[in-house]
Structure formats: C-alpha cells, structure tokens
Structure 1
Amino acid sequence: MNRATFAIVPGFLLGCLFLILFTRWIASPNLTVQAAGEISVSPTPTLALTADVTADHEEVGADEECSISPRYPDKVRRWCALIEKYATENGLDPNLIAAVILQESGGNPEAYSKSGAVGLMQVMPRDGLAANFMCKNGPCFASRPSMEELFDPEFNIAYGTRMLAGLINRTGDIREALRAYGPINVGYYYADLVLKIYEAYR
C-alpha cells in the first residue's frame, strides 16, 4: 500500500459510516413526518411514549413477511400486522389501508389534524376539536370513539378500516367511499390522492 491509499481508505470508511448513521437517523420512528394535507402532531410526543406504543402492538420489521408493498415507507409498513388483520377482516386490500395511512398520517400514530382528526387513519373523535362540529341534531361526531381510544394504533386501524369498508359497501365504489371518508368540501381531491398512492405503491 502506498501513502495515497493510507489517506483515502480511512476517509472512505468514515464517509460510509456517516452515510449509514444518517440514513438510520432519517428512518427513525421518533422523527415527525407529516403527510400531505393538514396533519400536525401532538405537542409532546416523547421517546418513552413511542417505546410504549411499539411494545404494546404488533409491528413487522423489514425482514418479516408482509403483504403490503415494500414501496411503502417503513413508518407505514411497521403497522403491517395490524393493517393485514383488519383489512382481511373487512374484505379490503391491505395496500389500500396502507395508502390511506400514508396520506392521512404518514404512519405517525400521534398525528392530530387542525380539524381534530386523530391517529393513523385520521378519524374524527367525539371530543377535542371535533366536538365543535355541529349538525342538525347536535354534535356531528357524538357517536364516535374518544381521542384517547383513537390514539391507540390498533383501535384506530380497526375502526378506520371498518368505517371505510362500510362506506365501500354503501356506495359500491372505492372512489366514492374515499370521497366520503376524506375531508368535507374537497370533492374527489382526497379520494384521487389516495388512489394515486394505492396505484403507485402496490
């Protein structure tokens, strides 16, 4: 080995190490990711809270079997076991539920929108900001679960998937169901965003 090689090899190895550490840092589940739309995060997510969430719920790592397309980011695929379970129970493609989660929360179970929608699938609860939405006969979301329930990833996926399946059964069309699932007064904009993700990622 000559002197030039002695100078280049350590620099190359340090650069590789930095790149590996940087990509792991970017993929960290503790980083905040905001999906397209009006998603914000509750102000005090902590490392301990994230650890509790991951300990209490089944998740899937990159090395385990998962029917969700590997094109979805790890922050969505980490919920693979729950997505598969409730998608199968409701007769839906897990990739469709993954597309909704990617659009709604980016895979962040603590996501909280400006309109008051909560969790992975951004379901409107009966309390919090959503309690201010009034319909003819009183609060629009009075029959919905609480924010506390919807911040639980398994409960959120189970409820959101069941709700979407019910809308598909009622309308007979995925696009129409997504239109009803999404924000009010955006027409098919939301439905088309989710369907583009679904087509691009599966």
Structure 2
Amino acid sequence: MYNPNRFIILAILFGVAFILLSASLLSKPFESVEASADTIISTQIEPKLTDLSVVNSNQSKSNDVNCTLPKSYPDSIQQWCSIIENFSLKYEIEPDLIAAVILQESGGQSEAYSASGAVGLMQIMPKDGIAENFQCINGPCFRNRPTMEELFNPDFNIEYGSKMLSNLYQNHGNWRDALKSYGPMDVGYYYADIILEIKNNYQ
C-alpha cells in the first residue's frame, strides 16, 4: 500500500544530508574546489602568462605597491598584499575580492593542495597531479593549465587566478556570475555568495 509518510522521511533525510555537505564545504574551504563547467569547457578564459622565471623576477617589483587591503584580513592574507595589489591593478579587480577568494580557497597557505587536486593560494586546477585524471569530452579537462610546480609559486598563482577572474567577469558582466563559474560545480551561487560575503565582512 502507498505510504506518503515514507517519501516525507526520505525528503527530510536528503535535506539533512545537503545541510551536512554544505557545512563540510564551509569548514574545509580549500579541499572543496574543482573547476566549474565554464572553466573546464571554455578555452577562451584560459590566461596566457609569462614563464615562471619572468614572474619570479617581477616579485621584488610587486613589493613596492602600497597595501590597501582592509586591516581586518588575517596575517595569512596580509602577507600576500603586495602581490594581490600588483595583479589587482593589472587585471582591474578590487584587491579585497582577490583576498576574499584566497581566504576561502586556501586560508593564505601557498602550499595548499586539495583532495580534488587544486593547487596553491587560489586553488587552481593544474594539468598534472590528481587533476590530470579529470576527463572532458575532448580529453583531459585541464591540459592547457600550468603545472603544479608553477601554481605553487604565489606570484604565478595569484596572477593566474586573477586573470581567470578577470576573464570570467568579462564573459558574464557581473561578479556573482563570474565567481559562480570560478567555484565548484553544481553548487549554484553558493560559492559566489560566500566570496561576496567574505569581501563585505572584511571591509
């Protein structure tokens, strides 16, 4: 006999599972990020950067930039301020938006390496390592990405992530949609709203 209470119980269980998954994503921010479908499929947003040696040679130049990040950001983020400021100017992004992404993604840990294979401060999927196993319709999803070694370099990682954000903003015309595409797949605007909330809370 048909029992409607059975379906109500199942719906409640699924709701609880969703809440637990959401809480897990918030408690381990840099272990939760994979490239979104827009990031995987769209090759037009892939930044083309100089090689690692050129980025390293520019590191001392970035130290000359004055830090305008709100002092409320923790030291783990403030330590990257000159690099953030440098690339925020280059790619016309507010520095505190880049800082909010870094805080959510890695907590400011340049050696962060997530269970899904994302690397560094802005948790970018490389072409090697765990991420090498992600397959799309036309082959490896991240074959045009930098290597893990490159992405563990803070200057390179922040520049690459900033360029990705800039390109996504140009494609979508607003930061909420751009951040949705930057973040994990299949979470809607959840990730974007977290980043924007962090940015607002640290003013």
Whether TM exceeds 0.5 here: the answer is: yes
The answer to whether the Cα contact below 8 Å between 1:115 and 1:130 also exists between their aligned partners in 2 is yes
Give runs of aligned pairs for residues 1-202 of structure 1, distance below 5 A.
36-39=28-31, 57=59, 65-202=66-203
Provide the identity percentage.
Answer: 53
Displacement, 1:57? 5.0
Distance apart, 1:35 and its partner CA: 6.8
Distance in 2 (CA, whole Å) between partners of 1:163 and 1:84 is: 16
> Which has the larger share of helix?
2
Question: What is the alpha-carbon distance in structure 2 between the residues aligned to residue 38 and residue 99 of structure 1?
Answer: 13
The root-mean-square deviation of aligned C-alpha atoms, in Å, is 2.1
Larger radius of gyration: 1
Q: Which has the higher contact order (CA 8 A, sep 6+)?
A: 2
Cα drift, residue 185 of structure 1: 1.2
Task: Give the C-alpha shift of residue 37 in structure 1.
Answer: 2.2
In structure 1, distance between residues paired with 2:149 and 2:27: 21
Shift of 1:36: 3.9
Distance 1:117 1:106 in 2: 14
Alpha-carbon separation, structure 1, partners of 2:30 and 2:75: 22
- Runs (4+) of structure 1 moved beyond 2 Å? 34-40, 56-60
The answer as to whether partners of 1:179 and 1:191 remain within 8 angstroms in 2 is yes
Residue 113 of structure 1: SS of its match in structure 2? Answer: coil
- Contact map agreement 1:35 1:106 (CA 8 A) in 2: no
Change (3 A) 1:38 1:85: closer
